[in-house]
Structure 1
């Protein structure tokens, strides 16, 4: 009886929020700045979150994607709250280096984790929303980067993945509009230069592998245009929901419908 009562209580809660990679970086900031007091927050990550429910996700392991997809479907099946939002934020630290010089197995794993996984997870969320018949606000945020438009030497997979992600968002928005699914919004977010473990990881790279590493280090040392994770998270939440396909922070303002 207690389990049934808990399921009923969860179904009635106003907000259902999934954040991949909520244990560090921008994902951590997003999790601790969720603006809905009644939210059920779920971390999708290889590491459990100390304060929130966690579902195992390994971007390099497609079987774990399927488990996340099943969790989307199960959670939305009887959900009667106001909103369901998935923020695809997780990124695997890929192999920075020149094309043809990175070990082939590592390069293939980077493609699986950072190109295929985000698109598949986004598709699974939208499928679960549609098949559940959820009538509240459904939002999908795909975290992108200025690398979607800048061919950064040493980051071929990262740049290609972010560019593909933004085009996927644009196509998905048009398809949702054709189906008249007005309760569903999808957007990509370029958060700007945020001080995260991933940013520090690539900034520490040797310049011969990643030529802009020294520039990044100088910018971080001087604090020029660098945001902390909580400030970045609050900016992102304040801009949602949105009717834009791309939200830009920390760079020249340009919006795409």
Structure 2
């Protein structure tokens, strides 16, 4: 019997797969929520761009946590809606809409459902994946950057609310740094006319700056649970060429007390 249950959205590839592989809790029950099934995990059919699919994840929260007697329950929202990179006003309208729904609305809705499902008597936590784009304006990622900034602000507020109530779960946002994933490599090959960051990503890959998904995941797990006064944990760094160009460093420190 397991005493830990962990939900991970997008555990089939990239950082999500790394988080599943390196989960440090013995015999943890890991539940993947994604469009494609994971060959070795429990699976929930879930599509960020299709809100009608989200209720399956809520049903899992409610079913598993109703009367839960284990030690730990954690929700990791790692998945992103991928496919609408480009300048505002120039992208496909349907993709733009689904980007807003999947990357800005979904994290807050899913995290709220988890908040409602957890109970007292065991450790519970919400880990929401963020990005340097939450602080650094990246052309071609207007929705993505705004979504991640929104996620981080939600965490800041809800962390205070949990402290006021004196109850869990802990909540934290994580900027993992540049991770070697299919998504990041695809972005490195985009037309710089619609995504100027592509040039810097390509150079960073050539320089070996990207973290492997498993290394990035181990760093993240090692920091859990987060310090009680911490809203955002920062790992790695953006591509060095971005900083050389004069952008503010969004990974200078842990964001504490905010």
Measured after TM superposition, the shift of residue 253 of structure 1 is 1.8
Return the TM-score normalized by structure 1: 0.91
- 1:145 matches 2:131: yes
Aligned residue pairs: how many? 241
Structure 2 SS opposite 1:245: strand
Equivalent residue for 1:35?
Answer: 24
Return the TM-score normalized by structure 2: 0.91
Equivalent residue for 1:54?
Answer: 43
Measured after TM superposition, the shift of residue 107 of structure 1 is 0.7
Measured after TM superposition, the shift of residue 254 of structure 1 is 3.0
Equivalent residue for 2:241?
Answer: none
**Structure 1 stretches of at least 4 aligned residues deviating more than 6 Å after TM superposition:** none
Once residues 201 and 256 of structure 1 are traced to their aligned partners in structure 2, the CA distance between those partners, rounded to angstroms, is 33
Equivalent residue for 2:176?
Answer: 191
Unaligned residue ranges in structure 1 (runs of 5+): 1-8
The equivalent position to 1:236 in structure 2, one of 217, 220, 224, is 220
Once residues 197 and 60 of structure 2 are traced to their aligned partners in structure 1, the CA distance between those partners, rounded to angstroms, is 39
Which structure dedicates a bigger proportion of its chain to helix?
Answer: 1
- 1:223 matches 2:208: yes
Equivalent residue for 2:247?
Answer: none
RMSD of Structure 2 on Structure 1 (CA): 1.0
The equivalent position to 2:54 in structure 1, one of 46, 56, 65, is 65
Unaligned residue ranges in structure 2 (runs of 5+): 237-250
Measured after TM superposition, the shift of residue 155 of structure 1 is 0.5
Equivalent residue for 1:76?
Answer: 65
Once residues 229 and 61 of structure 1 are traced to their aligned partners in structure 2, the CA distance between those partners, rounded to angstroms, is 26
Structure 1 SS opposite 2:11: coil
The equivalent position to 2:94 in structure 1, one of 85, 91, 105, is 105
